[in-house]
Amino acid sequence: CRQVLNYDGALELYLSILPWIAFAPSKQQHLECEIGLGVCYYKLNQPALAKQHLKQAEAFYEKEMPGEKFLPITKALSFLGNIYRNQSMPDSAIYYYRKTIEANANYFGKEEHVRVGLDYIVLGTAYMQDDRFREAIEYYDKGIKIILEAGGPEHEDLVQGYTYLSATYARSGELHKAEAYFRQAEALSHKLFPPGHIYHAILYSNGGEFYRMKGDYGTAAEMLAKALGIFEEKLPPGHINIALTQLNLGLVLNKLQRFSRAIGYFEKCKEAVVSKYGETHYVLAKSYNGLGEAYMGLKDYPRALEALEKSLEIAEKTNVRPHQHFAAPNYNKGEVFVEQGAYGEAIRHYGLALEGLGYNGEAPGEVFDYKRVKTLLDILDARARAYQEQFRQTQNEESLSRSLRDYQSGMEILDHVVKSFREEDIASLAGEFYSFMESAVGAHCEAYWQTGERRYLEQAFELAERSRAVLLRKAALHNTARAYADIPEQTLAEEQEIKRRIAGLAAAIDDAVQEGKTRMDTAVLGLNARLAEEQAQLEAFLEQLEEDYPRYYRLKYDFRVLPVEEVQASLRPGQAQVAYFIGDRLRLAFVFTTDDFRAAQ
């Protein structure tokens, strides 16, 4: 019955022999019955009963058959991992996925087997769910390598590996890599599987994520609708994959401003999750946050706040602070309060959103991945704007000062990104973050126009110059700098290796904090010490780089801006110099003469 996917029939048969299981002629038969019951309940979307029988199977195996080679136990361990992953318990999922890898490697006598390769890919999904992208990519790569070597370039499990790699790169902002792996998965999937196959649904679902991150919301909606159709046909009602696809489709429809349709999908998602997983699932928190965004779009602010508060209540029950699930609803509550003119409340919730990201305003070295940096800058920009509005209302200069401080903090983060991130990360950041720099320049100009204090205008000019040098020049001129300076490949490789180690340690620190460890925990202190050593090594490396290859260093790292006084001193009477800043919303001309400095829009 299980072979032909008749899980109801299989469950009935297993239950009929359950009273006699204690008298089974062999331990293997006893174990197979428990595992069979667990698998059937899992496939029939009854996770609580599935977990009960699979845990019983695990306990029986460890007591009666420890270390024996028995393939069905690997299925039990893998399904337990799936259950915990679906219940938003990634640490428990990771534990069982690792046990699955060990059990399969033991059974087959080696790690280089396609089953073990797939196990590594599945392990990566648990890390991706927890936004631990670098570790997810590491395990996807490992699994794909094993499958390629053991099963060849057209093995069907490669479709999952390429698909999940694409989704993870999309979520971490490396869209060029995301698209490349998506195309690989798409070509192989259509070659190996007939229309309507479940792997097509997985592909379309993750393709929707790629197109959403790319900003092509129309194509994302089409992909997700295709995925949902296949999932609803192939999976039982309320399955977590159906709920996740409904959630993501609702989020995309929000972007397309189809708010009423989005609300329908969020409500369906909520119903499915509550019926199978209860009131404390992370997908439920995200659904309420999506509902809040939809009601914001409809200008129904009381309902928006109600939904966002519910999202925070669920996050409070299921996650340890700081956690990213606190960031989005607090940010959205801030946006609602801005619309209502309650800038003090907006500022408070933006601060809570920053806390949810683990940001304290002092440690940009711990901000390491694209998604977190982008979200952080969005929140800093929003809070800075709220402070500006508060200043306009009250003329309290402390509000103005805090607004500009947020922009300066954001620029410090971007300085860190340019200095410490790898080249492939930088390429993803350049276009995305120019709007933040534009806002920072505009805010300082406005502060000058409102107060007449020249220091704000000088800071605006400095930011305008840094906005070119810090990120856009850095991303565009890496290869130019390399060719121009005739720098050895070995030196470039050393530069990138130090940055890779810094990124890895920063990720490990962030993961430890997300798991609930304090900054004074021994493990976190050890990681911070190693991070400090690597950052000191990078500083020493850059000093040596400046000495040995000054042209390369100047192009990539020397972003000093000429002070206004020096620009003026270089001019003769009657001369003027104009520096332009051209953004999407802001167009400025900074005009210098020997005795004057001003900005004009």
The pLDDT, as a whole number, for residue 473 is: 47
Domain assignment of residue 164, yes or no = no
Question: Residue 412 CB: number of other CB atoms within 10 A?
Answer: 13
- What average pLDDT does the chain have? 83
Q: What percent of the chain has pLDDT over 90?
A: 37
Residue 514 CA to residue 508 CA, distance in Å, equals: 10
Residue ending a domain, choose from 310, 342, 358: 358
Residue 477, pLDDT > 80, answer no
Residue ending a domain, choose from 358, 392, 409: 358
The partner residues of 587 in beta bridges, in order of sequence, read 582
Place of tokens 């996050």: 315
Domain assignment of residue 329, yes or no = yes
The pLDDT, as a whole number, for residue 553 is: 57
Domain assignment of residue 579, yes or no = no
Identity of the amino acid at 449: W
Predicted model pTM: 0.73
Domain hosting residue 518, numbered range = 485-561
Phi, psi of 588 (to 5 degrees): -125, 150
Return the closest-CA partner of residue 507 out of 168, 132, 123.
Answer: 132
C-alpha distance across the termini of the chain, in Å: 74
Residue 27, pLDDT > 60, answer yes
Express each pLDDT in 543-599 by its tens digit. 777 677 665 555 555 555 678 888 888 889 989 999 888 888 889 999 999 989 989
Secondary structure of residue 477 in the 3-state scheme: coil
Return the closest-CA partner of residue 446 out of 501, 387, 505, 491.
Answer: 387
Per the CB < 8 A criterion, the answer to whether 280 and 312 are in contact is no
Return the closest-CA partner of residue 508 out of 368, 344, 329, 364.
Answer: 368
Residue 159 CA to residue 450 CA, distance in Å, equals: 58
Domain assignment of residue 353, yes or no = yes
Residue 350, pLDDT > 60, answer yes
Express each pLDDT in 162-215 by its tens digit. 999 998 888 877 778 888 899 999 999 999 999 899 889 989 998 898 888 888
Each as own residue / partner, the long-range contacts of residues 489-498 (CB below 8 Å, 24 or more positions apart, any chain) are 491/545, 491/549, 494/541, 495/541, 495/545, 496/422, 496/423, 498/534, 498/537, 498/538, 498/541
Q: How many domains does the chain have?
A: 2
Express each pLDDT in 50-97 by its tens digit. 899 889 888 888 888 888 888 888 888 998 998 888 877 778 889 999
CATH of the domain at 334: 1.25.40.10
Residue 510, pLDDT > 50, answer yes
Phi, psi of 596 (to 5 degrees): -150, 150
Question: What mean pLDDT is predicted for residues 376-397?
Answer: 93
Angle, nearest 10°, between helix axes 397-420 and 370-394? 160
Residue ending a domain, choose from 339, 358, 377: 358
Least-confidence region, from 195-204, 329-338, 367-376: 367-376
Domain assignment of residue 116, yes or no = no
Secondary structure of residue 592 in the 3-state scheme: strand
Domain assignment of residue 349, yes or no = yes
Residue 108, pLDDT > 70, answer yes
Residue 583 CA to residue 585 CA, distance in Å, equals: 6
Helices (H), 87-174: 90-108, 114-129, 133-151, 157-171
Domain assignment of residue 511, yes or no = yes
- Highest mean pLDDT, choosing among 331-335, 414-418, 436-440, 485-489: 331-335
The 8-class DSSP code of residue 44 comes to T
Verify cis geometry, omega within 30 degrees of 0, for the bond prior to 563.
no
Output the CA angle 376-382-383, nearest 5 degrees.
90
Q: What percent of the chain has pLDDT over 70?
A: 84
Residue 475, pLDDT > 50, answer no
The pLDDT, as a whole number, for residue 254 is: 96
Domain assignment of residue 344, yes or no = yes
